[in-house]
Amino acid sequence: MKQRSNILILIFPLLAMFFTSCDAFLDTLPDNRIQLDNEKKITQLLVSAYPGANYSVLAELSSDNFVDNNAILPVTLSSFERMHDEIYAWQEVTSSTQEDSPSYVWERCYAAIAAANHALEAIAELEASNPDLDLSAQKGEALLCRAYGHFILVNIFCQAYKDETASLQDLGIPYITEPETVVIKTTPRGTVASVYSQIQKDIEEGIVLISDQNYSIPKYHFNKKAAAAFAARFFLYKRDYQKVVDYATDALTTDATPLMRDWTVDYDNITAISYDYINANLACNFLIIPTNSVFSRIFGTRYGHNGTAMYGSTYGSGPTWSGYLPCFFGKLYISGQQSYGVFFPKSDEMFEYTDKVAGIGYAHVVRAEFTAEETLLCRAEALIYLNRIPEAVADLQVWNKSHLAPNDLTEAAIKSFYVTSNALFVKTLNTTQMSSTFVVSAAQRPFVNCVLHFRRIETMFDGYRWFDIKRYGIEIDHAIGTSTVDKLTYNDERRAIQLPQEVISAGVEPNPRLLTPVLSGNYQLFVDNE
């Protein structure tokens, strides 16, 4: 692994395009929406319909991808900011409303949704006044953007989707379908079931309208592959498995091999890796979204990708490799000391100066929001539940081979590796406790654990591991300091991150907090004997 010498302070060209447009929209009075009087203006407005917030900090620190270094090392490191202490302990965040906070994610998602709604309203008015005008592509993009903004919110601030009946009991988030016309309006939260129903409606209505011809660089927008990948992920979470396969195949075709990232490329430095990971010319990248975020500054502080988090994923063994996946050779970095953990610089910071003399500006993290690899793993997971195991293993082998694993993945290899005693990689799946219809059979279990393991590696630092933990009711422990372990049970209400304090103060119903955290003074963490 390599030492990280400094924070990346470069500006990526697409950032200027995205954030200039976004800031222009957010700094414009709402009544200026009446000026959306032609196709070009609507197309420009839709640039603002993508959330500029990075939810990775909330999700990663809530998951088992990070540990408290103070609990496993003889150190007393400080967190980068107090908010990280609150998130890691599954507490309400009261110390920050800045980048990466619940407030920021909430506000930027709803700002993006507002842009989509203004675009949809303008499209309806223009098409009504001019029947020959075709704005179907813009309408499709706006619907997909509205669906995705709500999809992020419901998965961060609500319980996981369980089923159509059980999810009627869980609080959702306000689903906004019209431009706001009053300063303060309290919209009911609805239920997780109702939110998922509305997301599905927007996806299915919008996806057939998407066009790749509307933009010079389609991968900065919901193009056809990105839309299909989003639909595949949504229906995976909703457990409509045939639709997952259908949409994933639309994005990947039958054989996804040509779309996989080329991990044989050698890089000279962290900058080259981070830029190439979000390269719009790569076939594996379907949708790229820039965000305001200081996520990468967490590495080298109190909370790190270390201990069991590290050895159970990026730096651990697997069914076809030992040590760590060869794809990471020369691509893992450290910040501070090696004992503080490692990181792969997909989420490294790109700094946009507004005043170089004063040294101030905006910190950005650019996300590869939808990729061929994650979509492939969505399809593999769905195929397992359709009892098409050989096809699922074939997809998993494509992922395995592309990541340079030295051995082929077979059904036998999966069954022999994912056994109960291999606790780093085999987790108890509390699915039937969440929904009587979510049954993982004994025959399916090792393959499910395999796909969850591969997903954990593939989506490291993206936040999706938290969503997988929620979907499967996986119980995790957070050791806090040297004397406390907090256990997150499958039905813990803290799996729904609390709404921002200012949102609650405005009258929106907060998430319940009735369960008492399970604390213990005795715990063990994996120890590296090397």
Q: What pLDDT, in 10s, does the model give residues 414-461?
A: 999 999 999 999 999 999 999 999 999 999 999 999 999 999 999 999
Banded model confidence at residue 38, pLDDT cuts 50, 70, 90: confident
For residue 462, the model assigns a pLDDT of 97
pLDDT mean over 82-95: 97
Sequence-ordered list of residues with C-beta below 8 angstroms from that of 159, at least 6 positions apart, any chain: 167, 170, 171, 192, 470, 493, 495, 496
Q: What percent of the chain has pLDDT over 90?
A: 82
Judge whether residue 27 has pLDDT over 50.
Answer: no
Across 38-55, average pLDDT: 93
Helix (H) or strand (E) holding 478: strand 476-480
pLDDT at 181: 65
Report d(CA 267, CA 272) in Å as an integer. Answer: 6
Across 266-278, average pLDDT: 94
Asked whether the beta carbons of 493 and 514 are under 8 A apart, the reply is yes
The confidence score (pLDDT) of residue 21 equals: 40
Residue 528: pLDDT band with limits 50, 70, 90:
very low
246: tokens are 């259908």
Q: What is the mean pLDDT of the chain?
A: 90
- How far, in Å, CA of 22 to CA of 401, rounded? 40
Assign 152 to helix, strand or coil. Answer: helix
Q: Residue 128 pLDDT > 50, yes or no?
A: yes
Instruction: Answer yes or no: is pLDDT of 353 > 90.
Output: no
Assign 182 a pLDDT band (cuts: 50, 70, 90): low
Q: How confident is the model at residue 250, as a pLDDT? A: 98
Residues shown for the chain: 530
Tell me: pLDDT of 350 over 70: yes
Label residue 19 by pLDDT band (50, 70, 90). very low
Best CA proximity match to 111, nearest among 56, 59, 157, 149: 149
| pLDDT at site 518 | 57
Residue 202 or residue 349, greater confidence: 202
pLDDT tens-digit map of 130-172: 988 999 999 999 999 999 999 999 999 999 999 999 999 999 9
Phi-psi region of 361 (alpha: psi -120 to 50; beta: other; left: phi over 0): left
- Domains parsed from the chain with CATH numbers: 11-520 (1.25.40.390)
295 pLDDT band, cuts 50/70/90, is: very high
Residue 406's nearest CA partner among 310, 324, 312 is 324
Residue 77 three-state SS: coil
pLDDT for 516: 54
CA distances from 120 to 82, 112, 156, 197, 218 (A): 40, 13, 25, 19, 20
In which region does residue 336 sit, left (phi positive, over 0), alpha (psi from -120 to 50) or beta (all else)? Answer: left
Instruction: Specify whether the CB–CB gap between 227 and 210 falls below 8 A.
Output: yes
| 1 — pLDDT class (breaks 50, 70, 90) | low
State the sign of the Cα–Cα–Cα–Cα dihedral 408, 411, 416, 421.
positive
Do 83 and 324 form a contact (C-beta atoms < 8 A)? Answer: no
Strands (E), 66-151: 67-68
> In whole angstroms, how far apart are CA 149 and each of 153, 346, 473?
6, 22, 24
Percent of the chain at pLDDT > 70 equals: 90
Task: Provide the pLDDT for residue 15.
Answer: 42
What pLDDT is attached to residue 3? Answer: 53
Q: Residue 119 has what pLDDT?
A: 97
Please state the rounded mean pLDDT for residues 485-514.
96
Query: Measuring CA to CA, which residue among 233, 242, 236, 238 is closest to residue 391?
Result: 242
Give residue 355's pLDDT.
80
**Given this model, what pLDDT does residue 20 score?**
39
